[in-house]
Amino acid sequence: MATIAVFGAAGFIGRNVVQKLLEKGLSFIAVDAVDSPFPTRINYVKADILNPEAVGNIVKKVEAVLHLAASPLLVSMENPKLNMKVNVEGTLNILDAMRESKPKKIVFSSASSVVGEVKYDAVDEGHPCKPKTPYAVAKKACEDYIRVYHEVYGLDYVVFRFFNVYGPWQYPQHGALVPSLYMRLTSHEPFTVYGDGSATRDFVYVDDVAEFCIQALRENIPNELVNLGTGKPTSILELINVASKILKVRPNLVFKPKKAGEIDNFYANTAKLEKLFGRKPSTTLEEGLGHTFTWLKTVK
């Protein structure tokens, strides 16, 4: 397969994608705005997606783009303008470079949070979108820009709406649920549950996400917006119980009132994913948490 550019390669999902690409022997350029976290044998370019010239120099060398680079949710709450600049302007820099150089396809990482207010479960791709955070607003704008660039300029795309991705390289200090739960359980500290713990989410293991991203790049699945989740709702209490059994600890839970605006239930309808890709994520919660906790044990 021709060379792939992976923007955001040093991030949580990017690290896992790079590992998969290496395992499969595929040609790629790993790109991020930080110094390389990889061994020297990795073809790595330090470049900011806000630098159009740097982006253009990379894109003209490849046949396809996997765009994982993003300013995260927490930044969007503190600095919405910076978040918008990175996520929207950065994406437009990549799209404009592709328009000039004609790579065949872009695979883009959107977020299930673009839905905002859940009207029904399971959430399908046609669900109304009312984003509730600046981050989600920016992701939705990118979805629309990519669709328009297909309609106007002929760029092919697959947009994945990632649900609750977890796994290795997701560090506890980033505040994500699974590594935070691990740290609380292993240190025997209280873990706060908002509400009664019955609210459900769709937890998808990062290894599965990486596999679908690579499949989308390699196969003829053009111009689609697709949910990337398991289709299985997991309550917060169920997640805690499974994690506690794996770690052989008794959880110390503190219950507090549900946060204002918190969504009770939210999981993916995977019918479109299964139709286009012939499958859905297969890693069970027990398997995924086991692998994740093994990795977290190595984190200093």
pLDDT for 84-96, tens place per residue? 999 999 999 999 9
Residues shown for the chain: 300
The pLDDT assigned to 263 comes to: 74
Q: Report, as ranges of residue numbers, the positions in the chain whose pLDDT lies below 70.
A: 1-2, 260-261, 300
**Separation in Å, CA 299 to CA 14, 135, 172, 183, 205:** 18, 28, 9, 11, 18
Q: Tell me, what's the pLDDT at 41?
A: 86
Active centre residues (catalytic): 135
pLDDT reported for residue 76: 79
Instruction: Calculate what percentage of the chain has a pLDDT beyond 90.
Output: 89
Q: Which two tokens mark 162?
A: 């990632």
Q: What is the pLDDT of residue 260?
A: 66
Asked if residue 121 lies in contact with residue 199, where contact means CB atoms within 8 angstroms, the answer is: no
pLDDT, residue 204, reads 98
Distance from C-alpha of 292 to C-alpha of 167, rounded to nearest angstrom: 5
Please report, for the chain, the start and end positions of each structural domain, with discontinuous segments joined by +: 4-166+204-229
The pLDDT assigned to 2 comes to 65
| Strand (E) or helix (H) holding 105 | strand 105-111
pTM score, whole prediction: 0.96
Taking the C-alpha atoms of residue 223 and residue 261, their distance in angstroms, rounded to an integer, is: 33
Phi-psi region of 165 (alpha: psi -120 to 50; beta: other; left: phi over 0): beta
Can you state the angle between helices 206-218 and 12-24, rounded to 10 degrees?
A: 60
Q: Which CATH architecture has domain 4-166+204-229?
A: 3-Layer(aba) Sandwich (3.40)
